[in-house]
Amino acid sequence: MYTNEVIKRFKKPKFMGEMRNPDGIGKVGNPTCGDLMHIFIRVEDEVIKDVKFQTFGCVAAIASSDALCELAKGKTLKEAKKIKDKHIVEKLGDLPPIKHHCSILGADALKEAIKDYEKKR
Amino acid sequence: MKVYLDNGGTTRVDDDIAKEMKVVMTKKYGNPSSVNSMGEESRDIVDDARKVVADSIGALAEEVIFTSGGTESNNLAITSLIGKKHIITSSIEHPSVKEMCKQLASEGYKISFVQPEKNGVIDPKKIEKEINDDTSLVTIMHVNNEIGTIQPIEEIGKICKERKINFHVDAVQSFTKVPIDISNVTSMSFSSHKIHGPKGVGALYFKKGKKVKRMLFGGHQERDLRAGTENVPGIHGFSLAVKKEQPVEEIKKLRDMLIDGILKEIPDTFLNGDKERICNNANITFKFIEGEGLLMHLDMKGISVSTGSACSSRSLEPSHVLLALGLKHEDAHGSIRFTLSKYTTEEEIIYTIKQVKSIVKKLREISPLGK
Ligand SMILES: Cc1ncc(COP(=O)(O)O)c(C=O)c1O
Ligand code: FES
């Protein structure tokens, strides 16, 4: 059902955990299945220096969160805003169609985190 | 270590049953409808099997129809027993009853879905209340496949008998593990693959004097009630499985060990459904995490289980059974069903508790909830 990349990230997510005093937090819920994702970002000079996630969700949601963090890290905010669910799916090799909504959750959470940062600034 | 704890889904076929089935397939392969001696030999196998199944529940041989399994048995019984336009069932039935009822609803039948109590047991009084002049059938499962709770089918049967209403029981999960009393029952479904027999075969007990409405048309098999050449090796294997003793007490001991171990060693966990349940079922919610992830981690450790999580269902809906118990969405999310069998060992249970504990801890670190 899942690609090796999904399983690898699910088994050993590199970016999981909470961040203390993040510059921005994005919290989104998945309307499809009721799941929850939190993305934390640390920003310096308009660049995402660090990013972490916490997810209450399925294998695909956890792997998507981790892939998203890797995509976002080191990017300028402008670049990061362009990250879409399809980039997450690419990074993961693929996702079963029924699990695409889990990657959308990831893209939305990052957008919310950036919005939160910009609002606080 | 390989640990199979999905016996509510299906079971391993006993080695000697597989061996005996092979003999039927390769040596005694005649068609029971044929007049030749090979056919007669096969006919005897089917007749003997029918007697075994009938004896095991105290029925007459002629009251047993072999089918392709629990699904067909449920469909056939319900199709046969409806007349007037009202059916009473529960909201925790197996899809082979639930979907059938929904189909009938679309054809103009009125269906009452009775809710279980919070412990997953149905109150017979609630069924009685639903009965009206139009009620032709009450269909209730004996043991629920997800939470293992046992329904009071004797009491419900008495009510139905008094009111002269047909009563069908889906006994797929309970057969051979929970004592069965057919005295107030019109029909009852059984399946072979839940009791260490082969897949694709089962039976329907159908009370003498009641009329079967056939669904399959063709030859004269099963006394004209179900056409199609008999699955002789399957029927034979099924009857051998029925004859075997289920070590209910041993299974229960290990199951209790699993429940106690998990509930004691892992915080924020609870058992779904009444404690009083079939010997091999444990359905547990692990709060703050999602079941598919837990299932997948366990799978990687060699442990097979199932979950009621929305994320792992095709419909992305959580288990209708857990919701019927009043569970919140997110608690249904973190539910895992462990179902044991006579092959489960103490070593496997100890290993499972240990693995569950460390995986739950890890997934909770990933989760934003419960902090
Ligand atoms: C309670 C119950 N009823 C019916 C069935 C269907 O049986 P079968 O798989 O033999 O069609 C099952 C098993 O999936 C079950 O657990
Ligand atoms: S988070 Fe529920 S299906 Fe992926």
Q: How far apart are CA B169 and CA B78, in angstroms?
A: 10
Residue B193 lies in a domain: yes
Per-residue pLDDT of A95-117, as tens digits, reads: 999 999 999 998 999 999 999 99
Query: Is residue A30 predicted with pLDDT exceeding 80?
Result: no
Identify all chain B residues contacting A62, using CB atoms and an 8 Å cutoff: 293, 366
Residues in chain A within 8 Å Cβ distance of B293: 10, 57-59, 62
* Rounded Cα distance, B322 and B11, in Å: 23
Say whether both B281 and B209 belong to one domain: no
C-alpha span between B163 and B7 (Å, rounded): 37
Residue (of B163, B236, B153, B160) closest to B189 by Cα position: B153
* Cross-strand bridge partners of residue B138: B88, B167
Nearest CA in chain A to B310: A33
Q: DSSP readout, B263-289?
A: HHHSSSEEE-S-SSB-TTEEEEEETTS
Position B193 scores a pLDDT of 98
Q: Which residues of chain B have pLDDT under 70?
A: none
User: In angstroms, rounded to a whole number, what is the distance separating the alpha carbons of residues B289 and B128?
Assistant: 39
Considering CB atoms only, which of A7, A36, A98 is closest to B369? A36
State the pLDDT at residue A23. Answer: 97
Q: Give the one of A32, A54, A58 whose C-beta lies nearest to B368's C-beta.
A: A54
The verdict on residue B68 lying in a domain is yes
Residues B309 and B212 grouped into a single domain: no
Q: Which domains does chain A have, with CATH numbers?
A: 4-120 (3.90.1010.10)
Sort residue B49 into left (φ over 0), alpha (ψ -120 to 50) or beta. alpha
B146 and B185, same domain (yes or no): yes
Per-position DSSP letters for B252-265, written without gaps between them: HHHHHHHHHHHHHH
Domain boundary among B243, B261, B292: B243
User: Which strand (E) or helix (H) includes residue B267?
Assistant: none
The pLDDT, as a whole number, for residue A31 is 65
Q: Domain for residue B2, yes or no? A: no
Cβ A22 under 6 angstroms from ligand 2: no
What's the total number of domains in chain B? Answer: 2
Distance (Å, whole) CA B2 – CA A81: 45
B356 within some domain: yes
Domain-located, residue B8: no
Q: What is the CATH number of the domain that holds B74?
A: 3.40.640.10
Do residue B194 and residue B268 come from a single domain?
no
ipTM of the complex: 0.92
Say if the Cβ atoms of B309 and A54 lie within 8 Å: no
Say yes or no: B354 and B236 in one domain: no
Domain stop point among B199, B219, B243: B243
Q: Alpha-carbon distance B286 to B269, whole Å?
A: 5
Instruction: Please count the CA atoms within 13 angstroms of the CA of A48 that sit on its side-chain side.
Output: 30
| B176 and B138 in a common domain | yes
Residue closest to B338 by CA, chosen among B353, B319, B326: B353
Q: How high is the pLDDT of residue B314? A: 79
Tell me which of B314 and A59 has the higher pLDDT: A59
**Nearest ligand to the CA atom of A100:** 2
- Residue-number span of the structural domain to which B61 is assigned: 15-243
Give the number of other CB atoms < 10 A from CB of residue B335. 26
Which token pair is B198?
A: 């082969």
Residues B358 and B211 in one domain: no
Contact across the interface for A56 and B296, Cβ inside 8 Å: no
Do B265 and B331 sit in the same domain of this protein?
yes
- Chain A CA closest to residue B366: A54
Residue B271 belongs to some domain of the structure: yes
A53 vs A60: CA distance, rounded Å: 14
Residue B318: which CATH number? 3.90.1150.10
Cα–Cα dist B232/B238, whole Å? 10
Burial of B153 (0-12, 13-18, 19+ CB in 10 A): buried
The answer to whether the CB atoms of A36 and B368 lie below 8 A apart is yes
CA distances from B70 to A36, B44, B73, B147, B254 (A): 38, 24, 5, 18, 27
8 Å CB contact between B169 and B184: no
Q: How many Cβ atoms sit within 10 Å of the Cβ of residue B351?
A: 16
The string of pLDDT tens digits covering residues A73-84 is: 999 999 999 999
Q: Which two tokens stand for residue B76?
A: 């056939």
Q: What pLDDT is stored for residue B312 in this prediction?
A: 83
Among the bound ligands, name the one nearest to the CA of residue A59: 2
User: Going by CA atoms, what residue is nearest to atom 1 of ligand 2?
Assistant: A57
- Res A32: pLDDT: 66
CA atoms within 13 A on the CB side of B122: 32
Of the residues B243, B274, B299, the one at which a domain ends: B243
> What is the pLDDT at residue B195?
98
B226: helix, strand or coil: coil
Question: Could you tell me if B70 and B202 are in contact, meaning their C-beta atoms sit under 8 angstroms apart?
Answer: yes
Confirm whether pTM is higher than 0.80.
yes
Please give the Cα distance from B94 to B321 (Å, whole number): 9
**Domain check: are B115 and B29 in the same one?**
yes
Q: Are residues B233 and B254 in the same domain?
A: no
Asked if B211 has any chain A CB less than 8 Å from its own CB, the reply is no
So what's the pLDDT on residue A35? Answer: 84
Is residue B311 in contact with ligand 2, taking CB distance under 6 Å?
yes
Question: Would you say residue B217 lies in a domain?
Answer: yes
Residue type at A98 in one-letter notation: I
Q: Give domain status of residue B205, yes or no.
A: yes
> Counting beta carbons within 10 angstroms of the beta carbon of residue B62, is it exposed (0 to 12), middle (13 to 18) or buried (19 or more)?
exposed
| Strands (E) located in B76-207 | 86-90, 110-114, 135-141, 166-170, 187-191, 202-206
* pLDDT for the residue B317: 86
Indicate which atom in ligand 2 lies nearest the CA of residue B312.
3
Within this chain, do residues B270 and B286 fall inside the same structural domain, yes or no? yes
Asked if the Cβ–Cβ distance from A35 to B290 is below 8 Å, we say yes
CA B369 from centre of chain:
34
Are residues B104 and B64 both part of a single domain? yes
Pocket of ligand 2, candidates A2, A9, A35: which has the most ligand atoms within 8 Å of its Cβ, to mutate? Answer: A35
Of A26-30, A56-60, B125-129, B235-239, give the lowest mean pLDDT range.
Answer: A26-30
